[in-house]
A and B are shown apart, each in its own frame.
Chain A
Amino acid sequence: MSRTLSTTAPPRPTWQGLRLYSPAILVFLGLALVPTFASLGAENYILGLVTRLMILAIAAISLDLLLGHGGLVSFGHAAFLGLGAYTTGILLTEGVFQAELIVLAVIALSALFALVTGAVSLRTSGVYFIMITLAFGQMLFFAASSLAAYGGDDGLTLWDRADLFGTDLLHTRQGRFYATLAVLLATFVVVNAVVDSRFGRVLRAAKENPTRVAALGFDVFRFRLAAYVLAGTICGIAGMLSALQAEFVSPAIMSWQRSGELIVMVVLGGMATRNGALLGALAFVLLEVWLADLTVHWKLIFGPLLVLVVLYAKGGLAALLRPLTAEGRHG
């Protein structure tokens, strides 16, 4: 329910936009400072951890376009992480070192995979959609496991590094950190712009009432498919960053558990909100690290904790931050 019932046009000066995005702005400022502080100690560990966190945030934000804004519960989103990571791994192994070529290949393959699997999956809805996206994810998982030439089950260690426009920017942890931060920022800006756009408005309306949207003359399927391709492509790029960061790829990156974790991040942060997916990924990874530090049985605590959050903190972290952001419904 909206809290405002004003009958006049609500003013929306720029500072309200700043307010709406204030949690994300703080997070990005914090992230930009990480390398400085990391240089004080445990640099490799911290840079690696935060880069991994940012990669998951990119994946979660792209998933929220489907899950939150589109109402499409995809249970196979990690497949795109895997697709991006394996494309990167295989190309590096085969001697393609130009990051700009690798990213083009990742975008093309992710978009194609999303187009084909989306065209099939989006013919279904509800539980069937969940199952079929899961099935496509598993298909890719088993395909990767059987790639004997590229490590099979054991995965593939990457001995070579990618060059970005002939530079060695991506050869250092710091370089990869900043590259990932840039992609995360771009993802955040792009997805939130898409949500506000004409396209996003149709997607959001179709989540609430697809029959009405069709009766207006919109082909709902086409809008959902486009969202599926966009989200899959962004997640594919996250997969590429993951391969570059870990210098290793294995089928585990696209396990169904990973897809489930991405959903939990989005729900934890607050579905269909401006800052939720970013905050959810952040909270998920930090909680995981903190609990793992506390006890070896951390998974026994982590699981129930997530269940509690989902049950009781309705609307996720974004809902808790609403007094700060004044985020309401938007049309």
Chain B
Amino acid sequence: MAEPILEVKNLDKRFGALVVSDDVTFDLQPGECHALIGPNGAGKTTLVHQISGLLAPDAGTIHFAGEDVTRLPVHARAARGLARTFQITAVVPGFTALDNTALAVQRRSGTSFRFWGNAAKEAALNEPAREALATVGLEAKAHVPAANLAHGEKRALELAIALAMQPKALLLDEPMAGVGHDEGRQLLAVLARLKAHVPMLLVEHDMHAVFSLADRISVLVYGRILASGDPEAVRADAEVRRAYLGEAA
């Protein structure tokens, strides 16, 4: 195997008496889609928070692109190319879809400590932003304030923002949560195309999406990785069926 782009080792995290990450170890390989599944409350979001830097682990290390980022703040990890989406949509509600996305482009193109010139009119920022919006099928909504977008469109916008960052790895926390059937299909098609460009950690409840996208699946239950392997092996794993898949069936 090649050097992993993301490597999580022996991560522990507690909220009081509640153990949410229990000796979690896993990695993300270049070009890979690694799905993380598990029941509600298993600690998936908390894990994504720790990887992105929103929460500090109690113990363990996180390496990204060959660097120990365990103690780095959120913005420093993002600036190194670690992008994420949020389970609960987190965009700038008063900004248009285009401005939300252009802000992500702005971060990687020159300094943002520029105090003059209208940023909203910079073609060098808007063009890549439009492309990202087009990739997720949102180009027609470029000038709609994010607050006025439908739920499914907000999920697509989250994805466009992450894409516009041109990340080295992508953490997706339930990108399809709460979207309708048709929108879900669209998002799935987008994710399938993305897979070719950026390695991603995919937290998702939609098993159809997981089994069609993932190269590898890890199952998290009560903060522990219960099983990890290729999709067929995980599907066949009796313990996993009992703990998780069975519950859904």
Write the residues of chain A forming the contact surface with B, with a CB cutoff of 8 angstroms. 1-2, 4-10, 193-194, 196-202, 204-205, 208-209, 211-220, 223, 226, 230, 329-331
**Are the C-beta atoms of B143 and A214 separated by less than 8 Å?**
no
> Which residues of chain A come closer than 8 Å to B15, judged between CB atoms?
none
> Which residues of chain A come closer than 8 Å to B120, judged between CB atoms?
196, 201, 330-331
**Are the C-beta atoms of B78 and A216 separated by less than 8 Å?**
yes
Stretch with Cβ within 8 A of A (4 or more), from B2-10, B33-41, B90-98, B207-215: B90-98
**Known contacts A7-B141, A9-B142, A196-B120: A215-B90 contact under CB 8 Å:** yes
Partner of A215, one of B78, B94, B115, B145: B78
**Known contacts A209-B93, A212-B91, A216-B103: A5-B148 contact under CB 8 Å:** yes
Q: List 19 A-B contacts (CB under 8 A).
A: A7-B141, A8-B143, A9-B142, A10-B143, A196-B119, A197-B114, A198-B106, A198-B112, A200-B115, A202-B112, A204-B95, A208-B93, A209-B90, A212-B92, A215-B90, A217-B78, A217-B165, A331-B94, A331-B120
**Are the C-beta atoms of A329 and B143 separated by less than 8 Å?**
no
**Are the C-beta atoms of B113 and A201 separated by less than 8 Å?**
no
Q: Is B147 an interface residue (CB 8 A)?
A: yes
**Known contacts A2-B148, A199-B115, A215-B84: A209-B141 contact under CB 8 Å:** no
Q: Is B241 an interface residue (CB 8 A)?
A: no
Give a binary string over B87-112; 1 marks a CB under 8 Å from any A CB, 0 the rest. Answer: 00011111110111011101110011
> Which residues of chain A come closer than 8 Å to B107, judged between CB atoms?
216-218
B80 to A, closest residue via Cβ: A217
Partner of B161, one of A4, A6, A216, A219: A216
Q: Which 7 A-B pairs have the closest CB atoms?
A: A331-B99, A217-B78, A331-B95, A217-B79, A214-B74, A198-B119, A198-B114
> Which residues of chain A come closer than 8 Å to B249, judged between CB atoms?
none
B146 to chain A, nearest CB (A): 9
Q: Is B144 an interface residue (CB 8 A)?
A: yes
B126 to A, closest residue via Cβ: A9
**Are the C-beta atoms of B98 and A331 separated by less than 8 Å?**
yes
B125 to A, closest residue via Cβ: A198
**Known contacts A8-B143, A208-B93: A198-B74 contact under CB 8 Å:** no
**Known contacts A216-B78, A217-B79, A329-B145: A199-B114 contact under CB 8 Å:** yes
The complex places the Cα of A199 from the Cα of B117 at a distance, in Å, of 10
The complex places the Cα of A31 from the Cα of B54 at a distance, in Å, of 50
Interface positions, chain B 132-153, Cβ under 8 Å from A, are: 140-145, 147-148
Count B-side interface residues using an 8 Å CB cutoff: 48
A206 to chain B, nearest CB (A): 9
A8 to chain B, nearest CB (A): 7
> Which residues of chain B come closer than 8 Å to A329, judged between CB atoms?
94-96, 145
The complex places the Cα of A218 from the Cα of B107 at a distance, in Å, of 7
**Are the C-beta atoms of A218 and B95 separated by less than 8 Å?**
no
The complex places the Cα of A201 from the Cα of B116 at a distance, in Å, of 11
Partner of B92, one of A196, A198, A331: A331
A201 to B, closest residue via Cβ: B119
Q: Is B75 an interface residue (CB 8 A)?
A: yes
A314 to chain B, nearest CB (A): 16
Q: Is B21 an interface residue (CB 8 A)?
A: no
> Which residues of chain B come closer than 8 Å to A10, judged between CB atoms?
143
